[in-house]
Amino acid sequence: MDFLHISQSFRQTFAVRASEWALSLMLLNWSIVLFASPELFVDRPSYAPLASIMKQETWATICFVAGAGRLIVLLINGSWRRTPHLRASGAFIACFFWFQITLGFAQAETWATGMAIYPVLLALDAYNVIRAITDAAITDNHFKRAVSDGPDNP
């Protein structure tokens, strides 16, 4: 892995993966907010579905790992071999968060503005999963062909 590759890869792929970068950053920001406001799950009923699964601190830690991990995967993309599999996994995990949050907001007596945002984020990350998994299949095909052709005929 070298800085030149990362810089080049970032400039080449950012335009088409802007949504993945944004959603990863949102997940990371989520963990920061959860760490910064420890009583959030207690104060707001919208977070009840999340609270029923895990404690707020656990959610914050998982959000941090998932968000930061996804950002790192996007950053080092292709240093050793193109890895859209990890991009797909990251987006899939993020879908879980968006789905839970959407469920929480949907169950509230009065819908908050979150209902206008989180379902869209869920749909966007679902789209990212499909796109990344398609990339993964194409990459695997190229890799398989390169291996069967040998090093002289890439």
Partner 1 sequence: MDQITPEFLLTVLTGAIFGLAALGQYFRTKNQPSVQAMEKAGQYHDRLHAEQTLRALERVAVAVEKIAASADTIADRRQSDIQDTLHKIADHMKQS
Q: How far is the CB of 61 from partner 1 (least distance, A)?
A: 14
> Among 26, 62, 74, 88, which residue interacts with partner 1 (rule: CB under 8 A)?
88
> Among 116, 141, 147, 149, which residue interacts with partner 1 (rule: CB under 8 A)?
141
Is residue 103 a contact point for partner 1 (CB under 8 A)?
yes
CA dihedral 119, 120, 123, 124 (to 10 degrees): -140
For 66-120, give the DSSP string: HHHHHHHHHHSTTSSS--HHHHHHHHHHHHHHHHHHHHHHHHSSS--THHHHHHH
Dist CA 60 CA 70 (whole Å): 15
41-70 binders of partner 1 (CB under 8 A):
49, 52-54
Q: What's the count of helices (H) and strands (E) in the chain, helices before strands?
A: 7, 0
Q: How far is the CB of 4 from partner 1 (least distance, A)?
A: 28
Q: How far is the CB of 103 from partner 1 (least distance, A)?
A: 5
Q: Helix, strand or coil for residue 148?
A: helix
How many residues sit in the footprint of partner 1 (CB under 8 A)?
22
DSSP structure class, residue 31 = H
Q: How far is the CB of 50 from partner 1 (least distance, A)?
A: 9
Is residue 92 a contact point for partner 1 (CB under 8 A)?
yes
Kindly tell me which of 32 and 57 has the beta carbon lying closer to partner 1. Answer: 57
Dist CA 57 CA 22 (whole Å): 23
> Among 42, 127, 134, 149, which residue interacts with partner 1 (rule: CB under 8 A)?
134
Nearest to 9 by CA among 70, 77, 69, 73: 77
Binding site for partner 1 (CB under 8 A): 49, 52-54, 88, 92, 95-96, 99-100, 103, 107, 126, 129-130, 133-134, 136-138, 140-141
